[in-house]
Amino acid sequence: MKSSIATISWCYKEAMAAAEIDANLASSIRELAQQAKAASRVLSAASSEQKNRVLERVAKALRSDDAVARVLEANAKDVNAAREARVSAALIDRLELSRTRLAAIADALVHVAGLPDPVGVVEETRVLDNGLRTGRMRVPLGVIAMVYESRPNVTVDAAALCLKSGNACILRGGKEAFHSNRALADVFVAALEAEGLPRASVTLIPTTDRDATLALVRLDGLVDLVIPRGGEALIRFVTEHARVPVIQHYKGVCHVYVDGEADLEMATRIIVNAKTQRPGVCNALETLLVDRACAATFLPAIAKTLTDKKVELRGDARARELCPELRAATDADWDTEYLELILSVAVVDGLDAALAHIARHGSYHTEAIITRNEGKAQRFVREVDASMVLVNASTRFNDGGELGLGAEIGISTTKLHAYGPMGLKELTTRKWVGYGTGQVRS
Amino acid sequence: MKSSIATISWCYKEAMAAAEIDANLASSIRELAQQAKAASRVLSAASSEQKNRVLERVAKALRSDDAVARVLEANAKDVNAAREARVSAALIDRLELSRTRLAAIADALVHVAGLPDPVGVVEETRVLDNGLRTGRMRVPLGVIAMVYESRPNVTVDAAALCLKSGNACILRGGKEAFHSNRALADVFVAALEAEGLPRASVTLIPTTDRDATLALVRLDGLVDLVIPRGGEALIRFVTEHARVPVIQHYKGVCHVYVDGEADLEMATRIIVNAKTQRPGVCNALETLLVDRACAATFLPAIAKTLTDKKVELRGDARARELCPELRAATDADWDTEYLELILSVAVVDGLDAALAHIARHGSYHTEAIITRNEGKAQRFVREVDASMVLVNASTRFNDGGELGLGAEIGISTTKLHAYGPMGLKELTTRKWVGYGTGQVRS
C-alpha cells in the first residue's frame, strides 16, 4: 500500500507544481529549446577547427582586461548578495572569481580545444559479404541540458565540452551565481557569433525560477539529455520530474576492503590517501572493511595512524572489540557519504562478506580491494557493481583527468549510456553508416 | 498553456491509475523484482559455459516430444480463445506455434549459445604513467524488463539474449499469448534449475493485468532498463509511466533520396527492394524524395515500375505535375509508417531540401541517399540524424542479423545508450577497472 500512496501524493504535488508553472515561462523555455535544437543541427556539421576557434576566442577574452572587468563586476554582485545572505564561507569560496581563477578557466578551454574531436570518427568498420562497407560513426547527442548549483566555472566548462562534442547546451545555473553565469555566457556567445556559429549553441536560462527547470526537463523530443550536477536533493528533483533521459550521480559511498592476504603497509598507504588526501570529493574513502583474518593486527595500527591524522573512526561491534576507543557506528553510517574526516569501519568474514556489504551499501561509484591473492582480486573486480573497481590502488583514481579522458562533465553512477567519468566521447552516440554500390536484400 | 494543462490532466489520470493499483499486486511485483535483482548478481558471475548449457538444454527440450506437447497444448488454448474473440488472421498467425516453429526457436537458441559472450571482456586497456593498468570491462546491466505483445517466441528470444549477456529478465507478455508464454517460460526455468542457476533469472509476470506493467516500470533501483516491444501505443504508455530508463523504438518512417547525380537504374533497384521486399517491417521505405534535377525523367518511370508491383503512390503537388495520375498526399502522409504497399513521393530542390524534409519528418530510424557524388554522400551521412544512414544501398540493411550482431533484441531509435540494432553488447555496460601495485594520488 505504501508505494501507491507515495505515488498518489507525489502526483498531486506534481499536478500542483504543473498548475503553478506560468504559461509564459513554459512557452519561452520551449522556444529557447527549439532554437537550441536548430543550433544543434548546425553544430553537428561544424568542423573541429571552427569549434576550436570559438574555444580559443573565449580563452583569450577571459584573459583580456575588458571581459575580465565585466565578469568580475558581475561576480562581485553575486558575492556581495551571498555575504548579505550570510551564506557559509565555503559557498562564497566556490562562488568567487578572480583574475587567477579566470585564467585557470581559460587554460581549461585551451586544453579542451587541444583534445581530439570525437565527432565523425567511424569505429568498428567492416565489409559485409555483399560488399556493403559498414561502421559506426560518432555523432553528437543533440541538445544537452545542465542543471547545476553554485560554481560559475561550470558555465564555461560545460559549454566548452558540449560545443567540442557538437552538442547545443542549455544551462540552468544556481541563483547565487546568476550574474556571474550571465557574464560568462555572454563572453561565450560573443565568441560563437564571431566565428559564425549560432547564438543558441549555448543558452543560459535567463531566470533562476525553479519552474524553469521543471519546464526544461519535460521537453521530450527537444532536449536529448539532462545532467544535474550538485547535491542529492537537486538530482532527485530533476530525476522525479524529468520526461527526458537523465544521467545521475547521487553520491560516492566508496569502500576499501583489506583482505587477509594484503600487503598491510600498502593497505595503510592507500587508505590514508583515499581518506585524507582530499576528503570532500566523491571518490574519497568512506567505509573501510577489514578481513577478520588480519583485523587483530591491522585494525589497531590503522586506527592509530588515522586518528593521528585527525580522522574520526566509527566502528561496528567487532571493530570496537579490537579498538574499544572507537565510537559506535549507527545503521545510517554505512550509507553515509561523509565528505569529511570521518570513516566507518567494519570487520568482515572474508571476501564473500565484503562483497555482500558492498552490494548492500555501495553507491555504484568506486570500490577497491587490497590483496596479494590474484584469484580474490579477480572475483572482486568481476562481482562488484561500481563505475570503477580497483585492485591495490587508491579510490581517488576514478577521475576523468586521471584516466586520460582529458576533461569530464561529471561521473555517471547510472549504468545506461555511460558508467563512470564522462568525457567528450560520452557526450556522443554512434549511428550506423553503410556505403554501398547498389546492394539490396534478398 | 497547452503543455501545462496536458500535464495536469495526465497527472490526475496518473494519480487515478496509481490509486487503482491493487496493493497486493504492487507488492508481489516488487517481490519478483527483488528476487530478479538477487538472481542478477549470480548471473553476472556465471561462466559462459554454464549460460550456454542452459540455452542448449532449452533448445533440446523444444525439440522433445514431451515439452513440445505441453507447449502446443497451452498454445492451442490461446489460439482458440483468439478465434472465439474473432481477432484478425494476421494476429492468429503471429500467435500460433507448431513443431516447426518451435524447432526454429530452438535453432535460434543454439545460435545465441554460439555467439561470443561480451561479459568480462576488457576494452581500451592502458597503462597510466604511474603504472596503474586500466581498462573498461563489459558487465551486465542487471535486471531488464521486457513488455511485449502477441508473439510468444519473444519470451524465449528475450530470455536467451538477457541470459547470455548476464542479465536477469522480467517478462510481461501480451494477454493473447498468456498460456503459451507460461509454458515456454516453464521450459526455460526448468533448464536454469537443472544447470544450478536461480529460477528468478527469468521471471514471467504471472498476470496480464495492465497494472502489473505500471507497477513494474516504476521500480527505480530494482529494474535497470525496460524495453517495450510492440505498437506505438504500448511504447508511449511505458514511456509515460516509467521511472526507470526506457529504450524506445517508435516507428520507422524511412526515406530514400534520389539525387540528381544518381545512377537511376541503381535507384530503381534499391527503391523496389526497400518498398516491396517486405513492406510490413520497420526498415521498409515509406517516403521517396526525388531531386527536381532528375524528377522529370525518373519520377514517371519509377511510378510505373511501382504501380506495376501494386504499390499505391501518394504525391506532393510537384510530383503530381509530373505524374497527374498519383493520388494527392495529405499532411499526415509525410509522418506515416504505412507498413504496407503505399509510398509517399515528393520532389525536392536538391540535397539541402532533402535534409530539411528528413529533419522534419524522419523517425531517427533509417535513411538512404542514391548519388554518384561523394561530397553529397558525405554530407548526407554526416548530417542526417538516424540510427543508420546508407549510401547507394537499401534501407532494409538496418538489421542486427545483416550487420553481424548475431541476434537483436530490438532497434533503438533513442540516442542514449544504444542507437540502432541492439545485440548482446548493447545489453551490457562498461565499468572501469584498475590494477595497481599500491598507487596513490598526489
At B11, is the pLDDT very low, low, confident or very high (cuts 50, 70, 90)? very low
Determine whether the interchain pair A41/B382 forms a contact, defined as Cβ–Cβ distance below 8 Å. no
Burial class of residue B195, CB neighbours in 10 A (0-12, 13-18, 19+): middle
Determine whether the interchain pair B388/A218 forms a contact, defined as Cβ–Cβ distance below 8 Å. no
Check whether residue A227 and residue A259 sit in a common domain: no
Number of neighbours of residue A131 by Cβ within 10 angstroms: 12
In a domain, B336, yes or no: yes
Which three cell numbers, joined as nine digits, stand for A408? 569530464
Adjacent-strand bridge partners of B370: B258
Determine whether the interchain pair B139/A385 forms a contact, defined as Cβ–Cβ distance below 8 Å. yes
Query: Taking CB atoms and an 8 Å cutoff, what residues of chain B touch A351?
Result: none
DSSP A402: T
The owner of cell 506505438 is B232
Check whether residue B46 and residue B89 sit in a common domain: yes
User: CB within 8 A of A348, min separation 6: which ones?
Assistant: A257, A289, A290, A291, A292, A354, A357
Check whether residue B296 and residue B228 sit in a common domain: no
H/E run at residue B59: helix B48-61
| A432: nearest CB among B142, B403, B415 | B403
Contact criterion met (CB below 8 Å) for A402 and A278: no
**Domains identified in chain A, total number:** 2
In a domain, A129, yes or no: yes
Contact criterion met (CB below 8 Å) for A253 and A286: yes
Check whether residue A229 and residue A265 sit in a common domain: no
Q: How is B202-267 classified by DSSP, letter by letter? A: EEE-S---HHHHHHHTT-BTTB-EEEEES-HHHHHHHHHH-SS-B-------EEEEE-TTS-HHHH
Check whether residue B360 and residue B314 sit in a common domain: yes
- The domain in which residue A42 lies consists of 21-241
User: Sign of torsion, CA B396 B263 B369 A426?
Assistant: positive
CATH of the domain at A50: 3.40.605.10
Determine whether the interchain pair B441/A397 forms a contact, defined as Cβ–Cβ distance below 8 Å. yes
Decide which of B357, B378, B397 is a domain's last residue. Answer: B397
In a domain, B371, yes or no: yes
Which three cell numbers, joined as nine digits, stand for B399? 538489421
In a domain, A214, yes or no: yes
pLDDT at B20: 65
Closest Cα in chain A, distance from residue B101 (Å): 22
Check whether residue A289 and residue A185 sit in a common domain: no
Instruction: Name the pTM for this structure.
Output: 0.89
Check whether residue B177 and residue B271 sit in a common domain: no
In a domain, A341, yes or no: yes
In a domain, A431, yes or no: no
Average pLDDT, chain A: 92
pLDDT at A410: 87
Q: pLDDT tens across B179-206, in order?
A: 999 999 999 999 999 999 999 999 999 9
Query: Taking CB atoms and an 8 Å cutoff, what residues of chain A touch B7?
Result: 15, 18, 218
Check whether residue A258 and residue A236 sit in a common domain: no
d(CA A320, CA B363) in angstroms, rounded, equals 62
- pLDDT of A398 strictly over 60: yes
Please state the φ and ψ torsions of residue B325, each to the nearest 5 degrees.
-75, -15
- pLDDT of A190 strictly over 80: yes
User: Highest mean pLDDT: which of A12-16, B45-49, B226-230?
Assistant: B45-49
Interface of B with A in 405-434 (CB under 8 A): 414-417, 419-421, 429-434
Check whether residue B174 and residue B76 sit in a common domain: yes
Check whether residue B371 and residue B228 sit in a common domain: no
Q: Stretch A407-415: mean pLDDT, rounded? A: 89
Distances (CA, A) of B353 to A372, A386, B360: 64, 47, 11
H/E run at residue A412: strand A410-412
Average pLDDT, chain B: 92
Check whether residue B199 and residue B287 sit in a common domain: no
Alpha helices in A341-398 (DSSP H): 350-361, 374-383
- Closest CA in chain B for residue A242: B243
- HSE-CB at A307 with a 13 A cutoff on CA atoms is 13
In a domain, A410, yes or no: no
Distances (CA, A) of B55 to B42, B63, B109, B151: 17, 13, 6, 20
Burial class of residue B263, CB neighbours in 10 A (0-12, 13-18, 19+): middle
Q: Stretch A127-139: mean pLDDT, rounded? A: 96
Closest Cα in chain B, distance from residue A403 (Å): 8
Check whether residue B69 and residue B208 sit in a common domain: yes
Q: Provide the residue type at A313 as one letter.
A: L
CATH of the domain at B300: 3.40.309.10
d(CA A429, CA A417) in angstroms, rounded, equals 9
Query: Taking CB atoms and an 8 Å cutoff, what residues of chain A touch B385?
Result: 41, 44, 139, 142, 431
- pLDDT of A35 strictly over 50: yes
Q: pLDDT tens across A314-364, in order?
A: 999 999 999 999 999 999 999 999 999 999 999 999 999 999 999 999 999
pLDDT at B236: 84
Q: pLDDT tens across A70-117, in order?
A: 999 999 999 999 999 998 888 898 899 999 999 999 999 999 999 999
From the list A245, A239, A169, A246, the residue with the least C-alpha distance to A201 is A169
Please state the φ and ψ torsions of residue A203, each to the nearest 5 degrees.
-120, 120
In a domain, A298, yes or no: yes
Query: Taking CB atoms and an 8 Å cutoff, what residues of chain A touch B396?
Result: 440-441
Which three cell numbers, joined as nine digits, stand for A228? 544535474
